[in-house]
Structure 1
């Protein structure tokens, strides 16, 4: 039998001869689907260079070493997000994913900066959830200076270097929460606001959007000064108890930061009022139960599976592009949950 040639393979695969040559010699320059299609066709027609093609396809499927820093593993939202990220990393992203995922119980800027620098030494790209702080910004600059791109998750981060972002539009989250109060509260009054930490830029944007809606649509509401829970359930409970003590006629509570389980415990300790509305952030078992029993009227949440997929995809793109290529940014649509759709 006549030995099949590169031209025969190109005709059978319906690609150009130059594409076959690039699969053989420069696989990174050819899309994954095309590489694998050419290889499958080569095996089908008995192409003499199938072994070389297999080597090239494998070479083009380099392993992506990705690092992710999440916050406190004891918090259900981050546990669930970590599980979704690990599941997503099992998929093939033009090469296997070698994922290092860490939970940080110590959220001090010194510890976050140290772990970011440490993970940057063993990763091709790193994503993290962190509060804005000069020490964290310096660590970002150190890591990107070594050629490793950084992507912020949930809360945007700034540094001298380009910093990517994957998350929802926090400003629109705030306006959506305000819309809920405006349309569900019968008699406008005081609304309490909880944030985890004023250095989380997403929570600051939440509050900004929240206030902008009321300035535009309904100035009859009084928005109280936001109280920081420092991501602690115990502190959040204490803050909510203090709000009810100082503002007994408060008509609503917006929990836009951490510690929501403590806030829910405090809300359950006061008699339920039909004219009181509470809106929370992120859907997990505790907030789902609170929706069902009426403690919360609405929850705004990241879509975890899409969030995990976008995070891995963005890190791979950032790795391939390099830190000098510009920030990789992905804005996700958020989910809205009530007792009727959980």
Structure 2
């Protein structure tokens, strides 16, 4: 059996005295917050059994805050995974005594989205949301900002200065990266079909524009067909693929940007999967399985764990005294996965 870490081990690893550690663990006196944070890191690294006690001491005096999250349908793997990650990150915050409230939208109705935002604003100190760039949504964000409730856009930015900021990957870069992969992997001539979730997402507009730019700059002879919209629905993506793919014998690639990846690949016949390069822009456990079995060739995505960490960190900044109060942008690197990544 491995030896259990002792107070002496933690003190040595953290570079503090035993008396300081005693004051933290047994509440025998005041200790600087920065020192407690440093000790907590060392204790977690060594697997010290008293980590909950140190974490509790760190949270003494921390303000209670409620963070709201507005996400797409929970039956989509990405958003179920995202909801769990955000809830856990808020609960484990070392800066606030946090509570997470998660609301999942059932469709992409802008009015319903704006109403859900305002409802979250009634009980939350800050909000992170996946939002359409629609006048009704922008107006709701402005009203919340005027009441002191900052709204952070995630995955897809908004064209309003009233939002607190944005966390996600650069959509144009992701689209250009998709174009690079398609150019490299496909035959020199043929057609490319692109499905995007909804034109109301600025990110999806960027994916479409970036892919076309990248191919045009390389003087590619690949023709990108008119973009189809899945409205983030696997059912709609499946219907489009079943109807459209058989119409194009010269189709060489299928790009599914946003929701609908699982529905699109489920609609393909083995022969179609064999002749098409298939690229998605949404990562989840289900999509990972598609990569592993060769159904998908490439996935470019916002790294979920990084988005969770950066978003909640940004929300903490905006609700704490002396925290950052102006618009901020936290661009995260694009995550690239292929079958050989596993």
- Which TM-score applies when normalising by structure 2? 0.80
**Number of residues paired by the alignment?**
300
Counterparts in 2 of 1:108 and 1:164: CA distance versus 1, 3 Å: same
Asked if the contact 1:113/1:139 (under 8 Å) is kept, the reply is yes
Q: Deviations over 1:160-203 (max 9, x none)?
A: 52441111111111111111111111332110000111001101
Give the corresponding residue for 2:63.
62
Give the corresponding residue for 1:305.
305
SS, match of residue 97 in structure 1: strand
Q: Once the 2 structures are TM-superposed, how far is the Cα of residue 158 of structure 1 from its aligned partner?
A: 2.3
Give the corresponding residue for 2:235.
234
Give runs of aligned pairs for residues 244-259 of structure 1, distance below 5 A: 244-259=245-260
Counterparts in 2 of 1:323 and 1:224: CA distance versus 1, 3 Å: farther
SS, match of residue 326 in structure 1: coil
Asked if the contact 1:299/1:336 (under 8 Å) is kept, the reply is yes
Q: Structure 1: any 5+ residue segments left out of the alignment?
A: 1-11, 14-23, 39-53
- Which TM-score applies when normalising by structure 1? 0.80
CA distance in 2, matches of 1:72, 1:320: 31
Counterparts in 2 of 1:37 and 1:153: CA distance versus 1, 3 Å: closer
Give runs of aligned pairs for residues 39-78 of structure 1, distance below 5 A: 58-59=60-61, 61-78=62-79
Supply the RMSD in Å over aligned alpha carbons.
2.7
Give runs of aligned pairs for residues 180-219 of structure 1, distance below 5 A: 180-219=181-220
CA distance in 1, matches of 2:323, 2:34: 26
Asked if the contact 2:261/2:282 (under 8 Å) is kept, the reply is no
Counterparts in 2 of 1:57 and 1:324: CA distance versus 1, 3 Å: closer
Q: Deviations over 1:277-310 (max 9, x none)?
A: 0101222233223223322111112222221111
Q: Once the 2 structures are TM-superposed, how far is the Cα of residue 249 of structure 1 from its aligned partner?
A: 1.5
Larger-gyration structure (1/2):
1
Counterparts in 2 of 1:91 and 1:197: CA distance versus 1, 3 Å: same
Give the corresponding residue for 2:221.
220
Give the corresponding residue for 1:279.
279
Counterparts in 2 of 1:277 and 1:32: CA distance versus 1, 3 Å: same
Asked if the contact 1:194/1:256 (under 8 Å) is kept, the reply is yes
Asked if the contact 2:33/2:58 (under 8 Å) is kept, the reply is no
Give the corresponding residue for 1:314.
314
Asked if the contact 1:197/1:231 (under 8 Å) is kept, the reply is yes
SS, match of residue 77 in structure 1: helix
Asked if the contact 1:149/1:323 (under 8 Å) is kept, the reply is no
Greater mean alpha carbon deviation, residues 157-166 or residues 322-331: 322-331
Asked if the contact 2:96/2:316 (under 8 Å) is kept, the reply is no
Give runs of aligned pairs for residues 1-342 of structure 1, distance below 5 A: 32-33=33-34, 58-59=60-61, 61-267=62-268, 269=269, 271-272=271-272, 274-320=274-320, 325-342=325-342
SS, match of residue 89 in structure 1: helix
CA distance in 2, matches of 1:57, 1:307: 24
